[in-house]
A and B are shown apart, each in its own frame.
Chain A
Amino acid sequence: RKEVEQDPGPFNVPEGATVAFNCTYSNSASQSFFWYRQDCRKEPKLLMSVYSSGNEDGRFTAQLNRASQYISLLIRDSKLSDSATYLCVPTGGKLIFGQGTELSVKP
């Protein structure tokens, strides 16, 4: 089993839609989690940190389920500018990135 597995995508959604991505992780010792977004051919940028059961920042909500070892990212009212690849990163001594989930928001 891979250390981090993400929904394979791509997700193609219309503007205004709500979309959710899931990420499962194998290291039960992971204490904190990050979601990064990466635009095409650019570096990853930190989107959200999750240190407890979840976090909310505007249209973005991250939820953590430690028992099932998964973390989700919910995006409400999708914007064209949300189009990117979203990377899930559980921590546990070093950052292990998932392969990413690509989101494409269409007009």
Chain B
Amino acid sequence: ETGVTQSPTHLIKTRGQQVTLRCSSQSGHNTVSWYQQALGQGPQFIFQYYREEENGRGNFPPRFSGLQFPNYSSELNVNALELDDSALYLCASSPAGAGASEQYFGPGTRLTVT
């Protein structure tokens, strides 16, 4: 096991609602990245947090936002949910940035939007 935990495991929401997903990084890791993985696709980079600051963002709209806390845990917030937001949301932690460092993934949160 990687030591990265995510909650909840599964979630069902209605279109237009808001959702918050949580991630606890591996001990000693100060960087957290979030990914969205649709069925049959590879993970798509949403954004990364390093020492509580956003450190890079993928092609996702502003209704996807995040936070990182002093203990390096993180949240992903999605507002105004759309049906296409249904996916597996993965959190990954690393000791220093995403560019050169191996990342270790949590088990993911499976979000279904109806």
Q: Nearest residue in B to A4 (C-beta to C-beta)? A: B42
Asked if B67 lies at the interface with its beta carbon under 8 angstroms from chain A, I say no
In the bound complex, do residue A94 and residue B58 qualify as a contact, i.e. CB atoms below 8 Å apart?
yes
In the bound complex, do residue A91 and residue B90 qualify as a contact, i.e. CB atoms below 8 Å apart?
no
Question: Interface of chain B, helix or strand or loop or mixed?
Answer: loop
Find residues 57-104 in chain B having any chain A CB closer than 8 Å to their own CB.
Answer: 58, 88, 90, 98-100, 102-104
Binary interface encoding of chain A residues 58-70 relative to chain B, with 1 for a CB under 8 A from any of its CBs, else 0: 0000000000000
Find residues 24-61 in chain A having any chain B CB closer than 8 Å to their own CB.
Answer: 31-32, 34, 41-46, 49
Other A-B pairs beyond A87-B42, A100-B41, 4, CB < 8 Å: A43-B106, A92-B99, A94-B33, A98-B42
A interface residues, Cβ below 8 angstroms from B: 4, 31-32, 34, 41-46, 49, 87, 91-100
B interface residues, Cβ below 8 angstroms from A: 2, 33, 35, 40-45, 48, 56, 58, 88, 90, 98-100, 102-108
22 pairs, A vs B, C-beta closer than 8 Å = A34-B102, A43-B2, A43-B90, A43-B107, A49-B102, A87-B43, A91-B98, A91-B100, A94-B33, A94-B48, A94-B58, A94-B98, A94-B99, A95-B45, A96-B45, A97-B35, A97-B42, A97-B45, A98-B42, A99-B40, A99-B41, A100-B42
